[in-house]
Structure 1
Amino acid sequence: MKKSEKISFALLGLLAVGLMVVALRYDLALDHMLFSPQNPFAIIMEAFCFWPLYLPFALLGIVWANLYPGDVRRILGDLFVVLTFGALLFLSLPNLAKRGLTNGYSSPLGILLTFVLTLASIKLAGRWQKATLLRMEFLAKFGILFCILNNVIIHLMKGLWTRMRYDDMAKLGDFSSFTPWVRFGEVAGNTSFPSGHTAAACGILVLLLLPRLFAKLRGKELLLLVICYGYIALSGFSRLVIGRHYLSDTVAAATIITLLFLALTALPIFRKKLEETNRKADAIE
């Protein structure tokens, strides 16, 4: 990791600490001020912001469909792409209808879009050179591991904190069950802390690996960092607007998953596999 990246992550860490301190006093007040459950931006983000965490499954399928023709992995690749896009669309589209942003027709539209996305993505990747496919295979496998660990950590923490969501209290018109983020285990069965959608949006952090895989992208590390955390910030903000989370829920999720990303990329096995992938790809080019 370059010095500029280390400084950027250190500054992000300081910002996260500051926001968590602010949240101790203003968590509830911020949600009171921002709450707008029919906000189109927040509804759309709720429906789609978690996609980055699961797209590596589709990416692996796209790569295998083009890298291993005539192999069983070609069949598995096609299956991965269809199942990933199908699952994501059948989660996202009904949510838009439930929130009143669309008039239904989720199933036919989901089937059509699954078909279109599958064909388009596999055909597009067919233009990639073998070296590019090898590098993208590494990225996809890392993303899948990142996805699994992300879900395990976030869901374990939700079970410990059991914090009640803002919109659930808003429906009751009673906010007496609100708890600050430093207290946990007081309201059984609730899952506000930390934010799962924000954690899933952090799946976009795999883009930070691109400069380590592609020489043309070296020097773009800070730009990618801004893009990634801009997306994560928008996702987190949308969770406050729609009333599903508090500031501390979103900041904690982003911080935890950032630490997970940094820990995984610091492992010797990660560096070894990255170097092996680059060597194989460079030998082909």
Structure 2
Amino acid sequence: MLNQERQASRFSQRLFYVTAIILISVLILAAGFDWQISQFFGNMNDPIATTFQDIGLWTSPLVVMLACNIVAHAGVRASNWPWYVRAIAVVGSTLFAGYELWSGYLKYAMMMVLTSVKDIQAGKPMGMANSDGGSLALPGALSISLFILLYVAVCGVAQYWLARKSDDDLQHLVRVALVAALVVLLADTVINTMKTTWGRFRPYELLAGDPTKYTPWFHINGADGHMSFPSGHTETAALSLLFPLFVDRKNARLQRLVFWLAHGYGIAMAISRVRILAHFTGDVTTSLVIVWSVILLVTTVANLPLVNWVALPQRKSSKSTQAASPAAE
């Protein structure tokens, strides 16, 4: 067992070092070639990048909604809590989950999709829609219907999932919910503060305006209304790395699958943001560095590893032992 823990620890360290080296190398490259990369790689008519931009921000709101459902379910089940604490947990979490769905995702996604459609009809690039100061009147019936459908679907599935958990599992998930919510809050605060402070122009703004206003990612312009650095879309996608925490701790294979899918989704979103000329390479790479660092720090301090890497070699060794036992007999 000790040997398996050492193997898991070495794998985690190698994963960290490889990821850190790649991200730092990309940041160094972006410091000198951000503008050239955008000119070579950018295309505001890319349908895949437009899809990521318009409806790809579901990950962070889903994390918050899962956390809210866990707290609400714990409030219903925890008979040892005072009634008023249980009431606050249930009512507050239910309301906040709805707020996060509407304000954190649905309102933005509908605005972006409708704006993209209008831009295509007007002969403009489909990916030029932007949330910086943007507003669009939404059809009331459509927005309410979508909200109710998504809210009932997410909360219904979450409550069905939680109802099958033991009290010990639920207690663990409450810790996960609090840690995940803290990570989202910290990452969002840091990214939004830097966006306002840095004042970096977006690539498409420079291509359509004055290219001389380009500044490298490490240059702070001050609050000027431009918010390219760091990337908010990439931040939200990178927060999907919290999803493995919600997977059953005994299911190491599913933890590993969710981890790599989340890892890939964050990278895919980062690439799409550069492709659609909404961000420079330095913008998206910095978001990955910040979010993944916050996740690593908070989960380590809280003693909540994203993946139970120890169980993987343990399962393999047990299988090999079972296969060898008939031969030994």
TM-score tier by shorter-chain length is: 0.7 to 0.9
Match of 1:96 among 106, 113, 133: 113
Q: Percent identity?
A: 21
1:157 aligns with 2:194: yes
Distance 1:189 1:86 in 2: 25
Match of 2:154 in 1: 121
Distance 2:227 2:148 in 1: 34
Match of 2:50 among 43, 55, 71: 43
Query: In the superposition, relative to structure 1, how do residues 183 and 113 fare at CA in structure 2: closer, same or farther (>3 Å)?
Result: same
> Per-residue deviation at 1:93?
0.9
List gaps (5 residues or longer) in structure 1: 276-285
Distance 2:170 2:189 in 1: 29
Alignment: residue pair count: 268
Distance 1:105 1:159 in 2: 27
1:204 aligns with 2:228: no
Match of 1:56 among 60, 63, 67: 63
TM-score scaled by length of structure 1: 0.83
List gaps (5 residues or longer) in structure 2: 1-7, 77-82, 122-136, 306-329
TM-score scaled by length of structure 2: 0.72
1:249 aligns with 2:283: yes
Distance 1:85 1:156 in 2: 23
Match of 1:145 among 168, 177, 182: 182
Superposed, 1:156-175 pairs within 5 Å as: 156-172=193-209, 174-175=210-211
CA RMSD of aligned residues (A): 2.7
Distance 1:86 1:59 in 2: 15
Superposed, 1:1-285 pairs within 5 Å as: 2-69=9-76, 71-72=86-87, 73-87=89-103, 88-100=105-117, 107-127=140-160, 128=162, 129-131=164-166, 132-172=169-209, 174-185=210-221, 188-210=224-246, 214-219=248-253, 222-267=256-301, 270-271=302-303
Q: Tell me if the contact between 2:183 and 2:295 (Cα under 8 Å) persists in the aligned partners.
A: yes
Query: In the superposition, relative to structure 1, how do residues 109 and 92 fare at CA in structure 2: closer, same or farther (>3 Å)?
Result: same
Query: In the superposition, relative to structure 1, how do residues 266 and 34 fare at CA in structure 2: closer, same or farther (>3 Å)?
Result: same
Distance 1:56 1:225 in 2: 14
After superposition, what is the alpha-carbon deviation per residue over 1:240-259, rounded to whole angstroms, capped at 9, x for unaligned? 12211011110111011111
Kindly provide the amino acid, as one letter, of the partner of residue 77 in structure 1.
S
Q: Tell me if the contact between 2:202 and 2:228 (Cα under 8 Å) persists in the aligned partners.
A: yes
Distance 2:171 2:260 in 1: 26
